[in-house]
Amino acid sequence: MNSVRARTDRILDWLQRTGTDVLAMQETKCKDEQFPHERFEELGYRVAHVGLSQWNGVAIASRVGLDDVQIGFDDQPGFSKDPEAEPALEARAIGATCAGVRVWSLYVPNGRDLHDPHYTYKLDWLAKLRADAHGWATAAPEQPIALVGDWNVAPTDDDVWDPAFFEGKTHTSQPERDAFHAFAEVGYTDVVRPYAPGPGVYTYWDYTQLRFPKKQGMRIDFVLGSPAFTARVTGAEIDRNERKGKGASDHAPVIVDLEV
């Protein structure tokens, strides 16, 4: 999203135009008291948000119920630049139940560089999320669960505009891809891919170097569904047009339709 306050009008216009019931947002870049709750409530959406500073931040907006809100998953690791300091929990995960569906809005750490401590943090974060997500689906197999958000991983070469460009960089390294594919091993499915086959289907285009008009993007935003969630999916798409125009985010919305 890259700042909810800078894009509130676009978000609300999009919600009205598409009739979306539940919206998971990442990179809101604001504290809780700065989030424009009133604007969403005017359209009938309740919002759960966690933001600690001008960085990170995740939210869920729903007009079909917002229950059992949880900030962070149980084993979520923290991060600190100082190895001697206590790692701080960042605003990267929030869960809520919306019309019976358990939705998690997730902003996976970027990783920064293959030799940066943030890269190790990213891999640990994904491993801990996978373990918890496996536990959720095992404990309540009938519960539809959606892991939604910016995963900062391009799991295959089809998910980047030029694999050679990303050699030696984050997002496409084998450990990151293995961490992403490990979710499939515990039953979570990329529910969008069957409806948006690649290559050349992306969700993110960097603001620099005219990446969007050059069609130089990445697919790093996903909805991974538990078996109970996947069974209810009737369609999906990536709204590439929303990346266009003034004030657009560098990410495009990923939309999933469910059988009610």
Does a structural domain hold residue 55? no
Sign of CA dihedral 41, 104, 234, 190: positive
Give me the pLDDT at residue 3, please.
86
Give the amino acid at 118: H
Answer yes or no: are the C-beta atoms of 150 and 224 closer than 8 Å: no
pTM score, whole prediction: 0.97
Looking up residue 228, the CATH number of its domain turns out to be: 3.60.10.10
Of 45, 49, 107, 159, which residue is the catalytic one? 107
- Residue 208: the pLDDT is 94
Answer for the pair 60, 23: CB distance below 8 angstroms, yes or no: yes
Catalytic annotation on 107? yes
pLDDT at 54: 85
Quick one: pLDDT at residue 81? 86
Q: Is 4 among the domain residues? A: no
Active site residue 118: no
Distance CA 22, CA 7 (A): 17
What residues form the annotated binding site?
Answer: 27, 150, 152, 250-251
Whole-angstrom Cα distance, residue 12 to residue 148? 19
Closest CA to 188 of 133, 150, 238: 133
For residue 206, give the 3-state DSSP assignment: coil
Task: Indicate whether 131 belongs to any domain.
Answer: yes
> Hey, which bits of the chain come out as E strands?
22-26, 46-50, 58-62, 67-71, 93-98, 101-107, 145-150, 189-190, 221-225, 233-238, 254-258
Range of the domain at 99: 68-258
> What's the farthest any 2 CA atoms get from each other in the chain?
50
> What pLDDT is stored for residue 198 in this prediction?
87
Query: Does some domain include residue 136?
Result: yes
Domain assignment present for residue 15? The answer is: no
Q: Is residue 221 part of a domain?
A: yes
Q: Which of 169, 234, 241 is nearest to 205 (CA)?
A: 241
CA gap 120, 240 in Å, rounded: 32
Q: Is residue 161 part of a domain?
A: yes
The whole-number pLDDT of residue 82 equals: 85
- Known binding-site residues for Mg(2+) equal 27, 150, 152, 250-251
- The closest of 219, 108, 208, 88 to 155, measured between CA atoms, is 219
Nearest in space to 108 (alpha carbons), one of 141, 158, 154: 154
Quote the number of domains for the chain. Answer: 1
The label of the residue with tokens 């091993």 reads 185
Q: How far apart are the first and last CA of the chain?
A: 27
Interatomic CA distance for residues 207 and 246, integer angstroms: 12
**Active-site option among 45, 49, 121, 150:** 150
Residue ranges in the chain modelled with pLDDT below 70: 1
Examine the residue annotation and report whether 207 is marked as an active-site residue of this protein.
Answer: no
Q: Is 240 part of any domain?
A: yes
Q: How far is CA 127 from CA 43, 52, 130, 183, 229, in A?
A: 37, 23, 5, 9, 21
pLDDT of residue 251: 97
**Taking a C-beta distance cutoff of 8 angstroms, is the pair 146, 256 a contact?**
yes
